[in-house]
Structure 1
Amino acid sequence: MKRLTTLASIVGLVTALALFLSSGVTDVAGALVGAGWGALAVVVARFVAVAWAGFGWHVVFPRGAGPTLRDCISLRFVREGINTLLPVAQVGGDLIGARLLTRRGTPGGMAGASMFVDLMTQALTQLLFTVAGLALLVHFTGDGPVVRTVAGGVIIAIPALAAFYVIQRRSGHRLIEAALSRFAAAREWRALGAIDVLYDNLRRLYGNRARVSAAILIHLVGWIIGTLEVWIALNAMGHPVTFVEALVIESLAQAVRGAAFVVPGAIGAQEGGLIALCALFGIPAEAALALSLVKRVADLAVGLPSLALWHGMERGTPAATDTVAAGLGAIRARLGRRTDQSVPAAAPISAPLAAPLATAYGFPGGRAAALAPDNEPGAFQKCA
C-alpha cells in the first residue's frame, strides 16, 4: 500500500506540474492574485464546514451517552487535518479520532461505532450530493463525456456503499467473527468481546433513526456549505457563476477527490477535474487551477493547526505504533487475572496482574478505569 501511495503521489505531482506549465504559470498566478479577499473567505468557509461536520458526528450519539459537542468538533478538525495532509488514504484520521474519543471518557465500543456511522452518513450524503450535481449538469449541458464518466463512477459507488453498510449490520458481524475464528488467534479477541461490543453499539446507533436522519441532513447541508468555496473564489476572480453552477463544480470535484483517495491530497486529480468541470461553464484553465490553489490554501490553513491540535492531544500517550502491542498486553493481563482465579496459588502466572489500562480495539485508553457500561463482565463471560 505504501508503494502504491508513493507511486500515485509521484504521478499526481507530475500531472499537476504539467497542467500548470501548459496553462501558463504567470496566468495562473495572476488569477490567484485576482482572488484577493476571496481566498480568505474560502478559508473561513472551510472552517465552518469542518465544524459543521463535527456537529453531524455529535448528533449520532444517544443523549447523555456521548462526548460533548466541543469534543466532536475539535476531533473532527483532527480527522480533517490528518486525512487531508497525511498519506493515510483519507481514513487514517477517522481511526485516530475514534481512539482520541476514548480518552475523553467515551467507551471504546461507542467511539468505534460512532466513527463507522459518521463515515456512512458522510459517504451517503456525498453520493446524494454527486447525483444532484450530475442531474444539474445534464440539465445544463446534456449528455457528454464528463456526464458519462461521472455516471459510471456513481454506478460503481452505489454497490460499494451498500456493502459498507451491510458489513456494519448482523451479516457483517457473522462474517468478521468467522474470519477471526479461521485466520486469527480469535480466543483473545472473543475474551475481550471487542467485536460483540462494537456491533451492539452499531445496532444501538442505527436503531435511533431520528438521530441518523438528523446526521444525514446535517451532512447534506455541510456539502452545500462547501459549495461556497467555489462560488466565492470564482466570483472574486472575475468569473461570475451562479450558486447552482458552483454546486455542480463542487459536487463533481469532490467525487473526483473521493475517487483519487490513494493519492495524498488528490494531487493532480483535483486540478484535472476542476479544469474539465470549469470548462463546461466557460471558465478558463488558469482560473480553474487558481481555484484549486485556493482550495489547497484552505487545506493548509485548516490542516496545519489541526495537526498541531492532534500533537497536543497525543502528548503523554504511547506512540501510535505501540498501540496494538499495548492493546494485546491488556488482553493478556485480563486473561491472566481470570487464569489466576482458576489455578492453585502456587501455580506461576506469566501475565502481569496489575490493573490494565482501559482499551478500545487495541488502542490504549488514558486511564486505568472500571469497565464502561458497554463492556460489562457479561461480554467476557459469554465469549469464554
Structure 2
Amino acid sequence: MRIRTVLVGFGWSGREIWLPRLMASGDYEVVAAVDPDPAKREAFTAATDRPAFGDVDLLRAEDADLALVASPNHLHAAIARRLLSQGLATFVEKPVCLSSAEADTLAEAERAGGGPLLAGSACRYRADVRKLADLAGELGRLRHIDLVWERARGVPRSQGWFTSRAAAGGGVLFDLGWHLLDVLEAIAGPLAFDRVAASTSHDHVNDPRWTAAWRHDQPAPELNADVEDTVRGFLVTGTGLSVGLRASWATHSVSHDVTEIRIDGSGGAATLRSTFGFSPNREPRPRLSVVRRGRTSEVAVPAEPIGTEYSRQLDDLRARLADPSACGSAIAGARRIVCTIEALYAASATPLLPTGPVTTAAAT
C-alpha cells in the first residue's frame, strides 16, 4: 500500500528535493501540500493536480499517512507539534528543532498523539558515508574524528530567512553543522560532550559576492544577516574521544566545495574526501583512504548521482514507519544534536535566542 503523503512547505527544498522523489517513488502518493503562500499553492496544484492548503489545521489526519515538513527552520517544531498531536506520523527535515526545549515539546507531542516523529538528515544515507562508518569498526578504539564541510561560495539566501537568526535559529552550524553531527552519530554512535570550545565568524554572510548562486534563490530584499557563516569547534566526550568540527558557507581556503571526514583510531585512520549536498562546484568523485602502520590504501566507493541519499532516505522512511519501536528514537537523536549545537554557540558566546519575532504559519 502506498503511503499517502502531505508535503508541508513548497519552497526550494519541497519543490526541488522532495516532490520529485516522492512522485517518482512507487511507495508514496502525494495527496496534498500546505503553504501559506497562494502562489506556491497554485504552483503545487499545477504540477500535481492535487489540492494545497494554507494551514496544517485544515488537514484531516485520516486523509494521510505521513506529513513531510519542509518549511523554514523556526516553524519545524510548531508545525510538527500540531501534526503529531493529531496522531499523524511526521517527518521533519533537519534541523528538527532549534533548542532542547523544543525537543522536549516534540517528545511530549509524540507521546500524546501516538504517531511517530521521524527526523531528516540525509547525509548519513550517502554510500561513501556508509562505507566510512563500516570502516570505523576496523580502526580499533576511536580517538579523534574531524568533521569539515567548507563551501568556496555558498551563502544561502532563501528570501532572507536562512540568514536570520529569528527564522533559522542560527547560521551554518544549524545548516551544515547539523548534517555533520548526525554523520558523527552514524560513525561513533550516540555521544555526549563534557568539554566544548568554539568560535564563530561572519566575514562573508552580508556580501552578495559569496551567495550560493546554484540554489537559484530569489535575492533577499536587503543584506542584514545576523548569523555566522563559519563555525570552528572542538569537543571532548567523557571517555576521551575528541571531535573537531569546521563548517563554512564561504571561505578563501578552498576553490570548490569540500566535505572531509577523518577518523583516527588506535588501529588505523580513515579519511573520506567528498562533497555533500547539491552544489555543482564539487569534488570530482568521493575518495576514501585508510592508513595503517604508515601504509595507505584506497577503498572503492560506488559512484552515485547527486541527491541519491534523499531517495535512499525515503526508502528507509517506509521501514521506520512500519517499526513500532520508532517512536522516541528520532527525537532523542535530535535532542542530542541540538544540545551539542547549543553548547557550541554558548562556548563561542553567540546569542542563542532569536533577535526578532517569528510566526507560526507554514511558510517556506
Query: Into which bin does the TM-score normalised by the smaller protein fall?
Result: under 0.3
TM-score (ref. length: structure 1): 0.23
Higher strand share: 2
Q: Provide the TM-score with structure 2 as the length reference.
A: 0.24
Larger Rg: 1
Higher relative contact order (CA 8 A, sep 6+): 1
